[in-house]
């Protein structure tokens, strides 16, 4: 989770939030999605599918949910899990199977990799926390090999007939769950606000196409509050 959306003071504050929530991040993701988060991470890894002996970069890896799914799916794939938060990475390294992943603290706006280094890039809840969405996606395009795929798991602003109900649920239930499950209402109040303020899948898809990605698509999840997007770098 990179935090470049914010001025330096706010950036440090939000970075502190992610450091603080690392210990109950997985539990909250499971509770907030009624257990669906694990399946979404599995779907992201399957859609990325870099092929045998390929290389996959999982950005905003957090505690490693997508990276570990990718490593389990094909043990021949070299998986790198990168995140801004040292505490998230520390938690990731304690999980079963963590030895199959290379864990790296890195900034998604300035990736420490050469051009065309990876066959696939995945990410979970990164884009809503960055200021320069296009710049971050350009970095992913840069490190992808021709023909490589990017697969994105993100929150999605609600729309349609369910919009008022979903907005109420996100504004009220998410901070309440933060208080009950994690005893931390304030951190999840931030996550609630960033969810509702994030761009639509249509907007993100347009940015991907503008950068040069092709075969862009997406599928909404969980009453339209989450979305998986995918795209390919031309071969």
Classify burial at 135, counting beta carbons within 10 Å of its beta carbon; exposed 0-12, middle 13-18, buried 19 or more: middle
Going by their DSSP bridges, the two strands 144-155 and 214-221 should be labelled as unpaired
User: Is 58 annotated as a binding-site member?
Assistant: no
d(CA 136, CA 142): 10
Instruction: Give backbone dihedrals phi and psi of 144, rounded to 5 degrees, phi first.
Output: -80, 145
User: Is 83 annotated as a binding-site member?
Assistant: yes
User: Is 107 annotated as a binding-site member?
Assistant: yes
Which residues, 6 or more positions from 150, have their beta carbon under 8 angstroms from its beta carbon?
48, 120, 121, 122, 123, 137, 140, 141, 144, 208, 213, 230, 231, 232, 233
d(CA 195, CA 191): 6
CA distances from 11 to 2, 109, 151, 158, 233 (A): 9, 14, 26, 26, 31
Residue positions in the annotated binding site for S-adenosyl-L-methionine? 63, 83, 107-108
Residue positions in the annotated binding site? 63, 83, 107-108
């Amino acid at each position: 989770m990179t935090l470049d959306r914010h001025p330096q003071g706010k950036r440090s504050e939000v970075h502190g939030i992610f450091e603080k929530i690392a210990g109950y991040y997985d539990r909250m993701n499971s509770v907030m999605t009624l257990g669906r988060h694990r399946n979404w991470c599995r779907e992201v890894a399957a859609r990325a599918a870099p092929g045998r002996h390929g290389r996959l970069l999982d950005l905003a890896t957090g505690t490693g949910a997508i990276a570990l799914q990718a490593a389990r799916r094909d043990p021949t794939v070299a998986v790198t899990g990168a995140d801004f938060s040292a505490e998230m990475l520390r938690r990731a390294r304690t999980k079963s199977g963590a030895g199959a992943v290379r864990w790296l603290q890195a900034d998604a706006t300035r990736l420490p990799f050469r051009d065309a280094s990876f066959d696939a890039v995945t990410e979970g809840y990164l884009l809503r926390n960055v200021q320069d969405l296009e710049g971050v996606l350009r970095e992913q395009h840069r490190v992808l090999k021709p023909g490589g795929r990017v697969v994105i798991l993100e929150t999605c602003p609600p729309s349609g007939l369910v919009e008022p109900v979903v907005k109420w649920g996100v504004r009220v239930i998410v901070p309440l769950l933060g208080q009950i499950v994690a005893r931390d209402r304030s951190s999840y109040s931030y996550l609630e606000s960033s969810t509702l303020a994030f761009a639509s899948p249509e907007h993100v898809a347009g940015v991907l196409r503008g950068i040069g990605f092709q075969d862009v698509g997406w599928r909404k999840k969980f009453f339209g509050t989450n979305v998986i997007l995918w795209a390919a770098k031309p071969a």
